[in-house]
A and B are shown apart, each in its own frame.
Chain A
Amino acid sequence: MASKPVIAKDLSKAFGDFVAVDGISFEIEPGESFAMLGPNGAGKSSTMRMVSTVSPRTSGELQVLGGDPLADGSAIRSRLGVVAQEDNLDAALTLRENLMVYARYFGIGWKQAGRKADELLEFARLADRAKAPVMSLSGGMKRRLTIARALVNEPDMVLLDEPTTGLDPQARHLLWERLYQLKERGVTLLLTTHYMDEAEQLADRLVIMDQGQIVAEGSPASLIAQHVTREVLEVRYPADSTVDFQTLGLRNEPLADRTLVYTDDGEGTLAKLITDGHTPTSSLVRRASLEDVFLALTGRTLVE
C-alpha cells in the first residue's frame, strides 16, 4: 500500500451549533502508529467516526485508504478494522461465533472463517473460552475479543477508540503487547486515548487535540522536547506559603494541590530551593511526560 491511509484537510464536524471537530488537518503514513490524544470532548471520537465512514463530515476533505468515506464507505470498511469505544460484541453468540459471524460480514467463507476465528482466539489468548458466551467475559477479555474481531478481515488499518479505558493495569499491558505485535506486522494503527502513557507506549506520532482542534503534532519525544523541559519537579507547600517561582526565574505551572516546576535538572533546582529557604513539604522529581505537554499547551490537566 503506497498511498497514505488517512489524509484529512480542514476536516470539520458539527452537531447543530456544536462544533466537535474544528478544521483539523493531518496525514497518517502506511504502517505508522498514530494517536490522537486529548481530554473528553476534544473531538477524537468524532474524528474516529468520520474515518470509520459512519459519520459524514460537515466540511473539509477526508481520504481513507485512498477512498472518500462518503462515497466508498463499504469498500473502505472492507479493509478497516474498527474497535469502538464501548464494546459491541454480539451478546447472543459465543466467542468463536462472534468472530465467525463477523468474518461472514466481510464475505469470508465459513471454513476460512472458522480457521481465522481459531487463530484470532489464540492471538487474543482466549482459545480456552471459544465456546463461552460473551457475557461471561471480563472487561479486558471483551476488549481483546473486540480487537481480535477487528482483525478478521486482515485490515490495512485498525482504528481503536480509547482501547484501554476502564481496564485494570494488567489488562492494559496485555492489550498494549497485542497492539505492539500488530504494529510489528506493519498494520497501520490509529488510536485515540486520554492516557499519556498509552500514547507514549504505542504511538510513533501523535496529535494533541483540544476543543476540536489540533494544538500540537509530533513524536512523543519531540513534543516533550519542544514544549517542556527534560524533567519536572513537583513541589508542595503549605497553603500560606509565599514562594514566588516567577521571581526565582523558574518556569512553573501552579495546580490545585501542587506546583510543577519545569527544569532540566530537577535535583539541582530542588537543592537550590532548599538553600534559598523554600523547603517544600514534599517534592518529586520525574521525567517530563505528554501530560506536561498538554498542560503547557492548554493550561489544563488532561484527566480531571
Chain B
Amino acid sequence: MSAAVLLPLRVVERNIVSYRRTWVILVSAMFEPIFFLYGLGVGLGRLVGDLDWQGDMITYAQFVAPGLIATSAMNGAIFDMTFNFYFKLKENRTFEAMLASPLSIAHVLDGEMAWAMIRGGFYSVTFMGVMYAFGLIASWWALLIPLAALLVGLMFAALGSFGTTFARNWQDFDILFLITQPLFLLSTTFFALEVYPTWLRPVVQATPLYHGVDLIRDLARGTVDSSAFGHVAYMVIATVIARRLVNKRLGKLLLQ
C-alpha cells in the first residue's frame, strides 16, 4: 500500500485506540436517530397521516427515517471534525506531535476524515438496521444507502474541519449549532421540498445535507432517478474542494 493510504490509516488507528475506553460515548449517539424516529416518525406521524411520495402513499415514519440516516451521518462526522478536531489542533496539539513523525498534513487530514466518515457511517448502518426492523425499507436500492451515508459523512467531515480551522476558542462553536440545527430541520428531513415556496427551493437545494437526504430517501423508497447523479456530484465536489481548503488552512496554521 502506498504512503498516501497507509499513513492516514495510522491516524485512524490512533482514534480507535483512543475510543477503546470511551466507546460508550460512541455508541450512545447511535440512539439519537432512533429517538427521533420514534418521537417524530411514529408519534407525530399518527397526527400527520400518510403522505404522497412520488405517487406512492407512504407513512410519515417511512418519509422521515431516510432523512435521519443522512443527519446521523452528518452528526457523527461533524462531532469528530469540530470539537475533537479543535482539541487536536489547538488545545492538545496532537497534530503538531503527529507532524514530527513521517506523517504530513494531508495524511493527518485524510486520516481524520476517514475516521469521521467511518463514525458517521457506523451510525447510519445501525440505524438502517432499525429501519429494516420497523419495515421502513422498501427497495433493493437500499443496499446502496451505506455508501451514500459514507459520502455524506465524508462531505461533512471536510466541511466541519474547514469551519473549525477558523475557530478561535470554544465559544466559537456556538455558531456550529446555528448551522447544523437548521440543516437538520430544514433539509427536507421532516417535510418535502414542495412545502417550500418555489423561490425558496433552490436555496434549500444549494445546501449540503439536502443532497444526502434526498438521495438516501430515493434509495430507501426505490424512487431513484437521474437526480441521484446530481446529488452524488454535489457531494463529491463539495468534499474535494473543502478538503483542499482545509489542507491549505492547516498548512498556514501548523507549518509556518
Compute how far the CA of A303 lies from the CA of B205 in the bound complex, rounded to whole angstroms: 61
Q: For B94, what are the chain A residues with a Cβ–Cβ distance below 8 Å?
A: 88, 90-92
Who on chain B is nearest to A83 by CB? B100
B1-19, CB under 8 A of A: which get 1 and which 0? 0010011001001100110
B97 touches A97 (CB 8 A): no
With contacts A54-B254, A55-B256, A104-B14 taken as known, whether A88 is within 8 angstroms of B102 at the C-beta atoms is no
Show 16 A/B contacts (Cβ-Cβ < 8 Å), sorted by A.
A52-B100, A54-B255, A74-B3, A77-B101, A77-B102, A88-B96, A88-B97, A89-B97, A92-B94, A100-B17, A101-B10, A101-B17, A104-B14, A105-B102, A107-B102, A153-B101
Judge if B176 is at the interface, Cβ distance under 8 Å.
Answer: no
Q: For B13, what are the chain A residues with a Cβ–Cβ distance below 8 Å?
A: 101, 104
B87-128, CB under 8 A of A: which get 1 and which 0? 100001110111111111000000000000000000000000
A97 touches B256 (CB 8 A): no
Who on chain B is nearest to A102 by CB? B101
Judge if A245 is at the interface, Cβ distance under 8 Å.
Answer: no
Chain B interface mostly? helix
Who on chain B is nearest to A75 by CB? B102
Residues of A within 8 A of B (CB): 15, 52, 54-56, 73-75, 77-78, 80, 82, 84, 86, 88-93, 97, 100-102, 104-107, 149-150, 153
Q: For A101, what are the chain B residues with a Cβ–Cβ distance below 8 Å?
A: 10, 13-14, 17
Q: A93-B14, A107-B10 are known contacts; what are 16 more A-B pairs with Cβ within 8 Å? A: A74-B104, A75-B102, A77-B99, A78-B101, A86-B93, A88-B93, A91-B92, A91-B94, A92-B92, A92-B94, A102-B101, A105-B7, A105-B10, A105-B102, A106-B101, A150-B100
Q: Nearest Cβ in chain A — how far from B190, in angstroms?
A: 35
Other-chain residue from A15, A55, A86, A91 in contact with B255 (beta carbon distance below 8 A): A55
Q: For A149, what are the chain B residues with a Cβ–Cβ distance below 8 Å?
A: 97
With contacts A88-B93, A88-B94, A90-B94 taken as known, whether A54 is within 8 angstroms of B99 at the C-beta atoms is yes
Q: For B102, what are the chain A residues with a Cβ–Cβ distance below 8 Å?
A: 74-75, 77-78, 105-107
Compute how far the CA of A75 lies from the CA of B96 in the bound complex, rounded to whole angstroms: 17
With contacts A74-B104, A78-B102, A105-B103 taken as known, whether A97 is within 8 angstroms of B96 at the C-beta atoms is no
Compute how far the CA of A105 lies from the CA of B94 in the bound complex, rounded to whole angstroms: 12
Q: For A150, what are the chain B residues with a Cβ–Cβ distance below 8 Å?
A: 100
Q: For B97, what are the chain A residues with a Cβ–Cβ distance below 8 Å?
A: 84, 88-90, 102, 149
Compute how far the CA of A149 lies from the CA of B96 in the bound complex, rounded to whole angstroms: 14
Q: For A97, what are the chain B residues with a Cβ–Cβ distance below 8 Å?
A: 17-18
Q: Nearest Cβ in chain A — how far from B240, in angstroms?
A: 23
A105 touches B255 (CB 8 A): no
A88 touches B255 (CB 8 A): no
Q: Nearest Cβ in chain A — how far from B93, in angstroms?
A: 4
B14 touches A77 (CB 8 A): no
